[in-house]
C-alpha cells in the first residue's frame, strides 16, 4: 500500500501544470548561463566558479545549481510543499485524507517523499541539461577545479552526482519547513511567501558580522560551503557542517508538521 501511495503522490504532482512549467523554467537556467558565457569576452564570467567556466562545460552544472540554491530551488520546494497540505486543504481534499484509515504520520511521510522526489528530479534535470549545454557551448576537456587541478570526465561526473545529492538534501530541508507552515494554513501562497521571506531574511542576517553568533544556526550559512566539491582534494568539513545543519532543519520541520497534523481536525 505504501508503494502505491508514494507512486500516486508523485504522479499527482507531475500532472500539475505548474510543476511542468516550473521544471521547464529551471532547465532553461543552465542553457541561458552557457550561452551567456559563450558569448562573453574574456576567460570567465567573474570570481569563483564563474572564472573557470570557459572550456569547462561540466562546471556549468555545479555553477547553475550553486546559484539556484539561493532562491530558485527553495522557491520550487516551497511551492511543492505548499500544494502538499495547504493546497489539499484549500480544495477540501485534505479532510478526506485525514478521516481515512491511514496514519497521519504516513500521510506526512508521503507528502515529504513527494517533495523529495520532485526536488531530486529538478536538480538532476538542471545538472544534466547543464552538462549538455555546457559541453555544447563551452567544450569539455575534463573538469577544472578551484584548486587548479583538472579532473577526468569520469571523476567530474562523480563530483556532479555528489553535488546533486547535497543540493537535493538542502531542498528537502527547506521543503520540510514549508510543510510545517503548510500544515497551519489553507493558503499555498502564504506558505510560499513565508518560506521565501525566511530564506531572504536568513541571507540578509548572514551579511552582518555583528551577528556571527547567529550564523551557525541559519540554513543559508551552509550553502557556500557546498562549493568545496569543486576543490581537489575535496575538503569535507564545510560540506559535513552544511549537511548536518540541513538535517537539523529537516527534523525540526518534520516534527512540527507531524505535531500539527496529528492534532488537526479538518
Q: What pLDDT shows up at residue 262?
A: 80
| Crossing angle between the packed helical segments 104-138 and 17-39, to the nearest 10 degrees | 30
Instruction: Give CA separation, 8 vs 13, 84, 174, in Å.
Output: 9, 13, 23
Residue identified by cell 511542468 is: 20
Q: What pLDDT shows up at residue 93?
A: 63
Instruction: Give 110's pLDDT tier (boundaries 50, 70, 90).
Output: confident
Residue identified by cell 534535470 is: 125
Per-residue pLDDT tens over the stretch 161-187: 999 999 999 999 999 999 999 888 888
The domain in which residue 25 lies consists of: 1-264
Q: Which of the two residues, 233 and 125, has the higher pLDDT score?
A: 125
* pLDDT beyond 70 at 106: yes
Q: Which of the two residues, 132 and 83, has the higher pLDDT score?
A: 132
Count of structural domains, the chain? 1
What is the C-alpha R_g of the chain? 19
C-alpha cell at 36: 551567456
Q: What pLDDT shows up at residue 84?
A: 79
Instruction: Give 96's pLDDT tier (boundaries 50, 70, 90).
Output: low
Beta-ladder partners of 143: 151
Q: What pLDDT shows up at residue 159?
A: 94
Cα separation, 47 vs 44, in Å, equals 8
* pLDDT beyond 80 at 43: no
Q: What is the DSSP letter of 244?
A: H
Mean pLDDT is lowest, of 27-41, 87-101, 175-189, for 87-101
Amino acid at each position: 500500500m505504501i508503494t502505491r501511495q508514494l507512486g500516486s503522490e508523485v504522479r499527482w504532482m507531475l500532472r500539475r501544470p505548474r510543476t511542468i512549467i516550473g521544471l521547464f523554467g529551471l532547465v532553461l537556467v543552465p542553457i541561458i548561463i552557457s550561452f551567456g558565457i559563450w558569448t562573453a569576452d574574456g576567460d570567465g564570467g567573474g570570481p569563483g566558479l564563474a572564472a573557470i567556466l570557459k572550456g569547462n562545460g561540466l562546471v556549468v552544472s555545479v555553477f547553475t545549481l550553486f546559484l539556484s540554491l539561493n532562491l530558485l530551488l527553495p522557491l520550487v520546494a516551497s511551492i511543492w510543499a505548499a500544494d502538499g497540505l495547504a493546497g489539499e486543504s484549500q480544495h477540501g481534499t485534505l479532510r478526506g485524507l485525514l478521516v481515512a484509515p491511514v496514519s497521519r504520520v504516513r500521510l506526512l511521510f508521503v507528502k515529504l517523499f513527494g517533495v523529495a522526489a520532485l526536488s531530486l528530479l529538478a536538480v538532476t534535470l538542471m545538472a544534466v541539461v547543464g552538462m549538455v549545454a555546457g559541453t555544447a557551448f563551452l567544450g569539455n576537456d575534463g573538469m577544472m577545479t578551484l584548486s587548479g587541478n583538472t579532473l577526468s570526465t569520469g571523476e567530474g561526473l562523480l563530483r556532479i552526482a555528489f553535488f546533486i545529492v547535497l543540493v537535493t538534501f538542502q531542498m528537502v530541508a527547506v521543503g520540510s519547513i514549508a510543510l510545517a507552515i503548510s500544515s497551519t494554513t489553507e493558503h499555498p501562497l502564504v506558505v510560499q511567501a513565508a518560506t521565501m521571506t525566511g530564506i531572504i531574511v536568513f541571507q540578509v542576517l548572514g551579511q552582518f558580522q555583528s551577528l556571527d553568533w547567529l550564523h551557525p544556526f541559519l540554513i543559508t550559512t551552509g550553502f557556500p560551503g557546498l562549493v568545496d566539491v569543486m576543490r581537489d582534494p575535496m575538503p569535507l568539513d564545510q560540506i559535513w557542517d552544511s549537511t548536518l545543519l540541513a538535517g537539523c532543519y529537516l527534523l525540526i520541520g518534520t516534527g512540527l508538521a507531524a505535531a500539527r497534523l496529528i492534532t488537526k481536525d479538518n
